[in-house]
Amino acid sequence: MAAKHGNRVYIQVLLEPNRGKLLLEEARMQGIKPSEFVRLLVYKWLKSHLPEEEKIASESDQLVWEDAVQARLEGRAREFKKRLEKKKAEELRASDYSEQAD
């Protein structure tokens, strides 16, 4: 059963032990994580068996990724602005307090 993980589809695959060992060893030899190895195999299969659909899906996925990056950048900018405004307000209060003490 597939589930959602953010914008991605999460699929758990159970392999028989000896074939699983082969997969793990091949991924290790290629210097990549097993999940990346399987992901690349799936994308390669999609590209060879459903080239037109895969091209459209790949382009759509790229747009989703770009939107996610943009949203992350905008969120970070908002948080930075909030922290900066908070810091300025604290400095202003501290300045007012020190003037009153004099």
* Contact predicate 23/15, CB 8 Å: yes
Q: Structural domain tally of the chain?
A: 2
Output phi, psi for 68, to 5 deg. Answer: -65, -40
- Listing DSSP states for the chain in one string gives --EEETTEEE------HHHHHHHHHHHHHHTS-HHHHHHHHHHHHHHHHSHHHHHHHHHHHHHHHHHHHHHHHHHHHHHHHHHHHHHHHHHHHHHHHHHHH-
Asked which of 5-19, 25-39, 44-58, 83-97 is least confident by mean pLDDT, the reply is 83-97
Same domain, yes or no, for 64 and 100?
yes
Percent of the chain with pLDDT over 70: 96
pLDDT, tens digit, for every residue of 39-53?
999 999 999 999 999
- Show the domain range for 63: 51-102
Same domain, yes or no, for 45 and 55?
no
